[in-house]
């Protein structure tokens, strides 16, 4: 293996320590309440500011938050901090394996993150490859690459999200019990929803839902503001007479976070998904979603492409979002993970770019991660132990992030304490 730019020879199958990046988006948890912040501090030695939000801990080669190679695990240090993992891979493409280079080039096809969510992220969707290419060509300053961005969120605390549209039967109930929606979209759209019967649903549901949603999201700020004022007042009165539904309570929360935002009303149209630790949600192209609260591991195809339309101060592209959605009305599949052994579960969404393993290793235990066709990134979440390959035998602890080259067997063991880690890599079944 060539090591141009990296001092000293790196034997094959060597573990490489990474110094990773953090994002301080305003929806992140504050200071040490944020797991992203704690991991970042342990990983880099940087102090955490108690007055600053820490939203995302990035582990990968994305130009907006690259990981730097701090050297082989032994010795660590910052002598190579100017060398990004992306640069190292480009100079040594064998690190990611022949299959990855053939499909995605000399780079990681995935981006690995830890998210700490204090308030809702934007209502958004990610374009498929065809749409991503067109958006990048037409608006390169907004859509900065031509790749799709399927992603998965794996809960590490209780985690909430909006994802996909509610069923048509639920939608009928919503337009009857939330009159403010009718005030925004008009009675014609409400009547269209109410007059669709079960036999016509497959044929007519999507265009009717699309028309209603597009009208709602495109409404003027004055109309939305007036409707929200009525909605919040009505719910505050209702809560004195009865317990509000989960969705009603959520809407009150969202209105405090994003007052006057059309996304607050739109939340009634989406599935409210609650994940327990160890459950995962995957998000395909052109599906609307918004993370609401909690902490999760996130993995995605490497891309910046996000089309936003609500619950955000950022740029909105309502026309594109409303035209691109699938308008499927099903509750999303919740992944529970497939056991690979007594300590490890694998989460495999239907995308070639990535899979995620979670390993909870008790004290005095050992497990083996088989050689994978592509590279892996490991992050140690809690505890400490040893990670070994054919040419490395190194101590690891909370906050360590390790790059493992393709076709490398990794053994993890513990002594007096246990260890919890996550691994991201290209799908093992990828051919």
Binding residues: 124, 126, 151, 289
Which residues on adjacent β-strands are paired with residue 344? Answer: 359
- Radius of gyration of the chain measured on its C-alpha atoms: 23
Longest dimension (CA), the chain: 73
Which of 17, 19, 29, 308 is catalytic? The answer is 308
Taking the C-alpha atoms of residue 380 and residue 401, their distance in angstroms, rounded to an integer, is 7
Burial label for 54, CB within 10 Å (0-12, 13-18, 19+), is buried
Both tokens of 22, joined, read 């953090």
Burial label for 431, CB within 10 Å (0-12, 13-18, 19+), is exposed
Say if CB 377 and CB 402 are below 8 A apart.
yes
- As annotated, the binding site for Zn(2+) includes 124, 126, 151, 289
Say if CB 162 and CB 301 are below 8 A apart.
no
Tell me, yes or no, if 423 is annotated catalytic.
Answer: no
Both tokens of 262, joined, read 């059309």
Both tokens of 172, joined, read 């009928």
Catalytic residue ranges: 308
């Amino acid at each position: 293996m060539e090591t141009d730019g990296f001092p000293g020879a790196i034997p094959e199958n060597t573990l490489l320590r990474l110094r990773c990046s953090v994002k301080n988006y305003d929806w992140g948890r504050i200071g040490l309440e944020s797991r992203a912040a704690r991991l970042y501090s342990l990983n880099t030695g940087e102090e955490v500011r108690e007055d600053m939000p820490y939203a995302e801990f990035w582990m990968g080669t994305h130009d907006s938050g690259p990981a730097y190679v701090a050297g082989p695990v032994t010795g660590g240090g910052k002598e190579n901090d100017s060398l990004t993992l992306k640069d190292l891979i480009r100079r040594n493409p064998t690190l990611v394996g022949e299959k990855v280079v053939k499909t995605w080039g000399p780079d990681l096809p995935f981006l690995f993150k830890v998210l700490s969510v204090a308030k809702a992220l934007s209502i958004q969707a990610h374009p498929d490859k065809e749409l991503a290419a067109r958006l990048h060509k037409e608006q390169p300053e907004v859509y900065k690459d031509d790749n799709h961005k399927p992603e998965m969120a794996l809960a590490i605390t209780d985690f909430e999200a909006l994802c996909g549209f509610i069923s048509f039967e639920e939608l009928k109930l919503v337009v009857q019990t939330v009159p403010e929606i009718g005030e925004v979209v008009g009675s014609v759209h409400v009547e269209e929803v109410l007059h669709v019967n079960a036999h016509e649903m497959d044929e007519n549901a999507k265009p009717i839902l699309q028309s209603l949603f597009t009208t709602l999201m495109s409404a003027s700020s004055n109309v939305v503001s007036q409707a929200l004022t009525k909605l919040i007042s009505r719910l505050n009165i209702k809560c004195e007479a009865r317990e509000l539904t989960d969705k009603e309570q959520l809407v009150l929360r969202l209105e405090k976070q994003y007052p006057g935002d059309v996304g607050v009303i739109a939340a009634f149209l989406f599935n409210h998904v609650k994940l327990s630790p160890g459950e995962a949600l995957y998000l395909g192209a052109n599906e609307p979603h918004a993370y609401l609260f909690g902490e999760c591991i996130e993995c995605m195809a490497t891309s910046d492409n996000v089309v936003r339309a609500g619950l955000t101060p950022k740029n909105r592209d309502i026309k594109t979002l409303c035209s691109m959605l699938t308008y499927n009305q099903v509750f999303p599949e919740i992944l529970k993970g497939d056991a690979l052994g007594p300590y490890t579960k694998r989460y495999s969404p239907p995308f070639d770019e990535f899979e995620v393993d979670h390993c909870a290793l008790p004290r005095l235990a050992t497990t083996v991660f088989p050689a994978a066709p592509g590279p892996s990134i490991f992050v140690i979440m809690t505890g400490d132990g040893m990670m070994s390959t054919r040419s490395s035998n190194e101590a690891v602890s909370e906050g360590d992030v390790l790059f493992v080259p393709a076709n490398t067997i990794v053994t993890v063991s513990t002594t007096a304490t246990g260890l919890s880690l996550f691994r991201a890599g290209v799908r093992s079944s990828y051919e």
